[in-house]
Structure formats: C-alpha cells, structure tokens
Amino acid sequence: MRNLTLLTICVALFSFWATEVRAQNADLELRVEPNKTLIQSQAIDVQSLITNDGRGPNLFRMFLRNQNTTSAAENLYFEVIVNSDRIGTIARATQRSSQPFSLGPGEQIYATNNTISNGLPGVEEQVILEGDLTPAGTDFVNSLQGSGSLPPDRYRVTVNIFQGSGQQLKVASATAEVGTNLTEDSQDFYLLSPGGAEGESIANPYPYFQWQGQATSRYRLLVVESKENDSPQSLLEGAESSAATQKNGVSAGGSLVDYEMLDVMIDQPGFQYPNTGAQQLEPGKTYYWRVIRQLNTTAGTETRESEIWNFTLAANQDRVTTSQGRQFSKALQSILGSRLQQLREDGYTFESVKVDDNVFRDGQAVQQLIELNRKAERGDVSILIENQ
C-alpha cells in the first residue's frame, strides 16, 4: 500500500456533525471542520482526492483533546474514510499499526488532513497513514475520464480514533459531510436564445442572449461572424484566446479581433446585445455564439463550455416578426393601459426607451420594452404612469 495523506473535496454546500465514543482509558473530544475556502468552491478537484506528499489542498481542520487532565491517552490510531451516497466507500486510510501516538493529560491539538502525516503539533510520534482507493473508488475515478469535477452527490469524510492496533476500541469519531449541488450539475447549462444548433433567422439586430444556468455564476459570452473557410469552433477559440472587452459593463482591457462581434464577462445568465462596445450585426450574415462558464475550485478557475449556436440576421430589418410584433403590442398595452389608445389618437408614435440614462431605439428598444413587461408580469418591478 502507498502512503495516503488525503483529500480535498470542494463544496457548494456542507453540513457537519460529530459524535464521541468513550472508553475507560481514553476520554477524547474530536471535531472536524471543513476548510472555509472550500465553501466558496463550485466543483470538486479529483486530482486532490488523494495526495501522497502532505502538500495537497486542505479538506478539513481537526481539533482533538484529551479530556482527562490526570492521565495520558496512549496507543491511539487514526482511520480516515471517504464515501458517498452513490458510490459507497471511495477511499480508506489507516495508521500504521506499529506506530501509535499519544496525548498527554489535557493535551489538545489542531491539525489538517495534511499535517496528520507531516506531524501532529505537540505530538512526538510520527503518524503514518496507509491506504488507497477501494475497488469501487477506482472504478468511479476511472469512469470520470479525466473530468476535473465529481458529479452531484453527498460526500462524507469520517475521522475515527481507535485505542489499540487493529481497530480494537473506537474512542472518538467525527464526520464532515460535503456535497456538490444536487439540483444542478456544474457542467449542465444550456442555451435558450437566439438561434439554435441548426440556425435560425432573427429580425432584431440587438438580440437578447439567454441561457439556462445559475444566476450566481460568471459567464463569458462570445459572438463571432461566420467565415467561409473557418469552422465555428476555430473562430470561437480564436476569440477566446484574447481578453474580453467588458466585465459587467466595465472595460476589461481586451479588444475584438476582426471577425469577433462581442466578448463580455457577466454574472448572470443573459445579456442584451449593446449598441456600443460591440460590432454591429449586419443583415444577411450568419453569426455563431457560445457561453463559457467559470467555476471556482481548489485547483483554481475551471471552465465549462456550452454548445455552439448560430443565427442569421434577416435582410429586411424594417419587418418585425409576427410573434415579436404581438409581444410588442402586448407590452405597450400592459404598460400604458387605457392611455395607449388616447396617445395613438393624439398622433403619438413609439420612438425609444430610456433606462438609467441609456437610450434604446428600434429593435433594441422593442426588446427592452418586452423585457420590462416580462419583469412586471413576474412581479419583479412595478410600473407607475406619471403625467409629464
């Protein structure tokens, strides 16, 4: 068997509990706390599940205390187990039977999964853990085929302490439970509009890009123009190789390559094509787009790519699609109510929409109005008509 220092499993949410089992000659308190940096992670680093040098990312902090203030707790051994609901036991490590450790009267120590093998602070004896993946754990890791993240599940790390070699008497046990999001796989997000995998004609030169995904994630939206001798994949990879031009509406220092129409970083699953800071879409041309989701992990920032969709901007921009026209009329009616007919009779025509000092016209204004109406229907905003 090889030495095992163990484990990092990153969390989207976690819970923790500890239990104690007392023996005549050992009265121990054991607590295990997940590392705070793991709480902000959105994926699990498979490569750090097992490390052999004691320098891997920390999974947990451990507090251990001999509650007997007059007698030492001797002949103690560690056991660390990693399992999950779906897989069962993934990995197990036990302390070398010929090398126990002890705690003096009232002695307490703090350690991490790495420092267990590097040397427990204040403990003279060297603790050596031996273990490996279980057969089920090996099959599970092999099934991931190089993926950087574990699938949604509840993963548990249990630390046991026995008195006497061969797991004679369990004197303390604590379990930390960590888990990936069970409702949404970190790789599972998909595009909604505009266009499709097979393409689609649209009339609005300022389309609203929308995809299904977590609202708290960061996304990079790329839009490129079709080129006869280049594949969509190569065009998007070329655009991705340079920095984004905007990050949440603020300049990010990047610049657009000649065929790149839009390259922005945003913290929501949707974006309105702007009238500034991007190249204008041209009638009759086809465009490809994809979204890249960024995930924070213990190994750094990882990315997930959506599929590639495309759309063609209709040649006649004076013609709004029937569906969009109905949406526009419905939005105006909902917002203006009975005043809409009076405004029409007085000779007024729709010209623009102003939002936070930004003026939107033509197709972009229509899209803003439709989106405003959607928010009002969901109760996200209230609309108040004032006489000017």
pLDDT tens sequence for the chain (388 residues):
444 433 333 333 333 344 444 445 689 999 987 765 555 555 555 545 444 455 566 677 888 999 999 999 999 998 888 888 888 998 888 888 888 999 999 999 888 777 776 667 778 888 888 888 889 888 887 877 655 556 667 778 889 999 987 667 899 999 887 765 433 444 457 888 898 888 888 988 999 999 887 776 889 999 999 998 899 999 999 999 999 998 888 887 888 988 999 999 998 888 999 988 899 999 999 999 999 998 765 555 678 889 999 999 988 644 444 445 556 666 677 677 767 777 766 766 667 777 777 777 666 676 777 777 777 666 666 666 555 5
Return d(Cα 330, Cα 321) in angstroms, integer: 14
Is the entire prediction scored with pTM above 0.85? no
Q: How wide is the angle at C-alpha 60 spanned by C-alphas 54 and 64, nearest 5°?
A: 95
* The predicted structure's pLDDT at residue 4: 40
* The predicted structure's pLDDT at residue 120: 76
List, in sequence order, the alpha helices (H) in the chain. Answer: 36-39, 115-118, 135-143, 232-240, 322-336, 339-345, 362-378
Contact residues for 148 (Cβ-Cβ < 8 A; gap 6+): 43, 45, 46, 47, 297, 299, 302
Q: Which CATH architecture has domain 190-313?
A: Sandwich (2.60)
CB atoms within 10 A of CB 186: 24
* The predicted structure's pLDDT at residue 8: 35
| Domain boundaries, given as residue ranges, for the chain | 2-179, 190-313, 322-378
Return d(Cα 178, Cα 11) in angstroms, integer: 6
Q: Taking the mean position of all CA atoms in its chain, how far away is CA 200? A: 30
Class of domain 2-179: mainly beta
Whether residue 211 contacts residue 289, with contact meaning beta carbons closer than 8 Å, is answered with: no
* The predicted structure's pLDDT at residue 55: 57
